Structure 1
Amino acid sequence: MLPAELSADLIGQWVGQHLWPLFRIASFLMVIPIFGAQLVPARVRLGLALLMTILVVPMIPEAPAVDALSADAVVITLQQILIGIGLGFALTALWQLFVIAGQMIAMQMGLGFASMVDPANGVNVPVLSQIYTITITLLFLAMNGHLVALEVFVESFRTLPIGMEGLGQAGVWELAHRISWMFASAMLLALPAVTAVLIVNISFGVMTRAAPQMNIFSLGFPIGLIFGLFAIWVLHANFLPHFEQYARDTYDFMRQLQGVP
């Protein structure tokens, strides 16, 4: 028998009010780009999750009274983890959009071999993708995008309260379709530079057919590279409006996952 101070009902109430929000917040912080990067130690992310849980718990609706050791508690825990990962994936797609766009441009202009290790993800990416990643990270922090993302995430405790119902089949299907949005947006972002470099390559191809004795490859490669860098410099003038639009679409999608019109 547990003493009156630590009864089974009291333990279940603690689990519902603190542990379930902690699972959702911790899974969200483990996935999002800046706080979930490998550069941030797991202890720091866990500390941020605990601090956010302490601040968020007084503002969210009360959790249902469920036995802490029952099957329903396990289902609710898995639902909280799924919600946190789903909302974090929506934000991660915003970063991967620019990484894919940088890979498309780099492969077209001949910079695909110039790759470096991305310290955030631990994989090799082209240098251009790394430049885009640093640029959008600085823009995201300068525009207080992390505060907006956390605000949208905290709203999920009211729109998707703790319980047996989570994202559901429709939410998981929307997350799967978000991958196609990521690739389509990356293609639209990289299309001007890719098209410009393609025109240069076609021009040198025509020159090769007209004068086969000329070594067009040794001449066309550096010119295509220089023209690609010029196209990237021109596109940077509209980089901020594109990022604002994609960030706005990401926040709208996070609210759409929560069932907010």
Structure 2
Amino acid sequence: MNAAILEPFLVHQLGTFTLVLARIGALMMTAPIFGPRSAPLQARALLAFAMAIMITPLHASQAPVDMRNMTAFSHFVLNEALIGLLLGLGLLILLSGIQLTGQIISQLGGTALAEGYDIMSEESLPVYSQLFYFLTLAMFVLLGGHRLLIEATLDTYQWLPPGRAVIGESYVSAMTTLMGQSFRLGIRAAAPAMAALLLATLVLGLIGRTLPQINILVVGFSVNALLTAGAVLVSIGAIAWAFPQAAVTAVEMLVDAIHAAAEQAKDKATSG
């Protein structure tokens, strides 16, 4: 093949691959399933590289901006990465509500000192937070959430092919909604343990007033710890089921936000 023809072809293919890799790579580095710090960086990079190689031929005919124009090309790379970050961070924000559940239960139950080092956040978290998080993540994988996330990312290429990614107002709305849902789910999941511990505190207070000779401080720690463990044992099934279901809905919401942004961009281009 003539060098004059080969060079533009290679530049076009490399540009398409770079744009696809930006979207997939941002997802792999931020999504709870693919992007925790506990996973080797080389494995995540290899997975993103392999997926980009498979996706690039499907969109090679849609010419992106010329990558020799570095200013314009960098702008499109950032837009592509934003879509991957939206999907990955959106799911991460929702699942972080389960850690809020563990922190609330640990603080109220007097077990907040039982902490462990979390590799993903690089800080110490209560044991209940880590238990709930990993259990929820396991349930999400069992329900096929990782496949749904990959499928949602592939669906975004139907509306926003490589080089067509845009920033939409729907992104901000979706992220704000997910933050509110994460907080509400965290409070609701902790509600059974909160109610049980509140009743236990009232009962222990009454016992302390009627039987002053009992050391309520010592007895209270033991009772609260046992009651916390019992409340967690009773409600852990509902917690492990509620968050994965909400995560599936969150992925669909994020895809709808990307679709809405694509439609808005199309309408602006048509009207312009």
Distance 2:27 2:47 in 1: 11
Task: Quote the residue 2:72 is aligned against.
Answer: 72
Q: For the structure 1 residues 65 and 214, does the alpha-carbon distance in structure 2 shift closer, same or farther, using more than 3 Å as the test? A: closer
1:10 aligns with 2:43: no
Please say if residues 102 and 129 of structure 1, whose CA atoms lie closer than 8 Å, have aligned partners that are also in contact.
Answer: yes
Please say if residues 11 and 68 of structure 1, whose CA atoms lie closer than 8 Å, have aligned partners that are also in contact.
Answer: no
Distance 1:211 1:11 in 2: 84
Please say if residues 22 and 81 of structure 2, whose CA atoms lie closer than 8 Å, have aligned partners that are also in contact.
Answer: yes
Please say if residues 24 and 84 of structure 2, whose CA atoms lie closer than 8 Å, have aligned partners that are also in contact.
Answer: yes
SS in 2 for 1:120: coil
Q: 1:27 is aligned with what amino acid?
A: A
Distance 1:10 1:60 in 2: 14
SS in 2 for 1:67: coil
Q: For the structure 1 residues 237 and 34, does the alpha-carbon distance in structure 2 shift closer, same or farther, using more than 3 Å as the test? A: closer
Shift, 1:206, TM fit = 2.8
Shift, 1:217, TM fit = 0.9
Distance 1:237 1:82 in 2: 35
Identity %: 25
Distance 1:13 1:240 in 2: 46
SS in 2 for 1:187: helix
Distance 1:110 1:168 in 2: 45
Matches within 5 A, 1:232-243: 232-243=232-243
Shift, 1:220, TM fit = 1.2
Task: Quote the residue 2:104 is aligned against.
Answer: 104
Aligned residues: 259
Task: Quote the residue 2:219 is aligned against.
Answer: 219
- Worse-superposed segment, 72-81 or 172-181: 172-181
Q: 1:33 is aligned with what amino acid?
A: P
Give the CA RMSD over aligned residues.
2.3
Which deviations, in whole Å up to 9, do the C-alpha atoms of 1:194-242 show, x marking residues without a partner? 1111111122123333444432111111011111111111112324431
Task: Quote the residue 1:228 is aligned against.
Answer: 228
1:34 aligns with 2:33: yes
Distance 1:139 1:101 in 2: 17
Q: For the structure 1 residues 105 and 131, does the alpha-carbon distance in structure 2 shift closer, same or farther, using more than 3 Å as the test? A: same
| TM-score, structure 1 normalization | 0.89
Shift, 1:96, TM fit = 1.1
Q: Which runs of 5 or more residues in structure 2 are unaligned?
A: 264-272
| TM-score, structure 2 normalization | 0.86
1:139 aligns with 2:139: yes
Distance 2:144 2:64 in 1: 37
